[in-house]
Structure 1
Amino acid sequence: MGERNPDGAVEAVPCGRRRWPWVLLVVVLALATGGAVAVELVAGALSREGTEPRRIGYRVTGTAKDVTVTYPTWHDGDLATARLRLRTLPWAAETRTRGFMSGGSLDVALGASGGEVACAVTVDDGTVRTATASGAFATASCDGF
């Protein structure tokens, strides 16, 4: 608690240095180090994914006789968009790319004559996205692959 001085007043006796600033510093450094390790792990995974070949398969089926198909393609690492006007279905295509990709979209727009369509996208025979549409000027979008 304290000691009494010759006047009878109580004086505080220092207990030593405060420890909480050091504890706080250690906690902050541990959190920063953990965050840096997490960022490095994610960056490493994306880097490895950036060199892996990917095979993207597109397929459109249905009864429609007038459709416009729009889909992404990759040539030497560059993204391009292909657009086709089809009078008969089914239709299928495949493209290859290297690396991480996200947000692609296969869009199938029906013309004035309507009909029904279904689209499907596969990535390396996995990740399947599907959609359907029917009626004049309707659109089926298989996106997010």
Structure 2
Amino acid sequence: MKGKPLSDPNQPGDQQPNYGQQPYQQGQPYQQGQPYQQGQPYSGQYPPAGYPPPPKKRKKWPWVLLALVVVFLVLVGGCVALLGSAADSIEEESDRTVTVTYEISGDGPTASATYTTGDGDTAQDTDIPVPWTKEVQITGLGKFVSLLASNGIDSSGTIKCVIRQDGNVISENTSSGPGANASCSGTAD
């Protein structure tokens, strides 16, 4: 079977069918359905054949959310570490034991002493001979120490209280007269 001879598109009667397309003219914007020509502005929805599709835009909100989560976790971790070290310091201080010496001196033969004990409670010794000393182990957070020395009713002399830690005076006070009280207080290191 012999086919039709090839026709020359430049010959007036030998045009190929157009199928409803308009010929492209230089300077006209691209319209859908027209073949794409190099240098022609593109305004259609899809890229012309032979060109790669434009890159998809990446969403930024997942990265922003991730950054916020990381910042939150760093802040929480820092606070936990800070509180943890503070709790360790508090526990170390509350477990630490120091030794203090309570002393009462004066003119009278006897006195009474009220002082803080190692667990923060108070104790009282009465009719103690003067001079008097007592060593006490102090624990706890504040390590608050106090001593109240009292003269007897029949003693008119002076009475003195002293609280020492490692030979250093924390507090001292003197009072005189019948029933006089000398009060010392402070914090052990």
Q: Do both share a fold (TM > 0.5)? A: yes
Would you say 1:93 and 2:134 are equivalent positions? yes
8 Å CA contact 1:72–1:79 kept in 2: the answer is yes
Ranges in structure 2 where 5+ consecutive residues have no aligned partner: 1-74
In the TM superposition, what are the counterparts of 1:1-145 in structure 2 within 5 Å? 43-74=87-118, 78-86=119-127, 88-112=129-153, 113-126=155-168, 128-145=170-187
Task: Report the CA distance between 1:36 and its aligned residue.
Answer: 9.0
- Percent identity of paired positions between Structure 1 and Structure 2: 27
8 Å CA contact 1:56–1:123 kept in 2: the answer is yes
Ranges in structure 1 where 5+ consecutive residues have no aligned partner: 1-29
8 Å CA contact 1:131–1:140 kept in 2: the answer is yes
Partner Cα distance (2:149, 2:123) in 1 = 12
Determine which structure has greater relative contact order: mean sequence separation of CA pairs < 8 Å that are 6+ residues apart, divided by chain length.
1
- TM-score, structure 2 length as denominator? 0.49
Partner Cα distance (1:90, 1:81) in 2 = 20
8 Å CA contact 2:170–2:186 kept in 1: the answer is no
User: How large is the RMSD of aligned CA atoms in angstroms?
Assistant: 3.0
Look up the match of 1:4. Answer: none
Look at both structures and tell me which one has the larger radius of gyration over its CA atoms: 2
Q: How many pairs are equivalent?
A: 114
SS of match in other structure, 1:122: strand
Partner Cα distance (1:39, 1:134) in 2 = 50
Stretch of structure 1 that moved more, 134-143 or 42-51:
42-51
8 Å CA contact 1:65–1:115 kept in 2: the answer is no
